[in-house]
Chain A
Amino acid sequence: MQRDEIEAAQLEEPSPEDSPPNSIDHDDSLILWMLSLSPEKRLEVAQGFVDSVRILRSGRRAPVSRHP
């Protein structure tokens, strides 16, 4: 393969690391995670977000929870 062809191929096929995140897939994983929770846990998640924002607004460091 000539150098020009290699460069062209690299341009056409970005590595996964270079790919922009797929917002649809990301939303789906978040939605599916939320749907896997009980209604009570869903409300706890919402309350946790409210509490985190309040802590951030007050200038303190907020605990960060992440979904799997």
Chain B
Amino acid sequence: MAGELRFLDILSALARHEVAFVVVGGVAAILEGAPISTFDLDIVFHRTTENNLRLATVLQELNASYKDPAGRHIVPDSTKLDSINVHLLRTDLGPLDLLSRVGRNLTYEALLDRSIDYEVAGLQLKVLNLETVIECKEIADRDKDRAALPILRRTLELKRSGDD
């Protein structure tokens, strides 16, 4: 059963188990200052054997299962994390999307140079920078991505003008 979305609690669970990941998508845009709304948490995880095991432990703790249109109860595990690129999950703390890459096939390692370290409620988070969030949304090009782009681009402009 899917729970109420708790961004910080999911992030805390990932950090507690020392999962290597980058926050991407809407939550990354929000942490970068864009006033948008989102109803899930998207992360790109570092796909290594050790990290997959740590992530699988968190997913078990959160009672995660795949959003299966057929209604089957399929749980993620380290083997699936190693072989599947996109994991759309329900958890006790809300929807969680796990990606092995994003945008132009950018993996965790590639995203590190495009990420900013934020401290949020005592958690050290790697967060995709707004430039790359915009780039990813331009590539994804879904209706919801196109709808968000004007405010994301304007946020980037105002951030840059504020940095001058």
Contacts and interface: CB of A to CB of B under 8 A. Distances in A.
A43 B33 CA distance: 9
Contact of A35 (B37, B38, B151, B159): B159
Contacts of B35: 30-31, 33-34, 45
Contacts of B150: 27
Interface string A30-68: 111111010110110111011101100000000000000
Nearest to B156: A31
A39 B39 contact: no
Nearest to A51: B4
Contacts of A51: 4
Contact of B37 (A32, A33, A49): A49
Contacts of B27: 43, 46
A5 to B, nearest CB: 40
B37 A43 contact: no
A28 interface: yes
Interface stretch (B5-13, B72-80, B139-147): B5-13
A50 B33 contact: no
Size range of the interface on A? 20 to 34
Contacts of A30: 35
Given A31-B155, A35-B33, A47 B7 contact: yes
Contact of A43 (B4, B31, B154, B155): B31
Interface of A: 24, 27-28, 30-35, 37, 39-40, 42-43, 45-47, 49-51, 53-54
Interface of B: 4-8, 26-27, 30-31, 33-35, 37-39, 118-121, 127, 150-151, 154-155, 158-159, 162
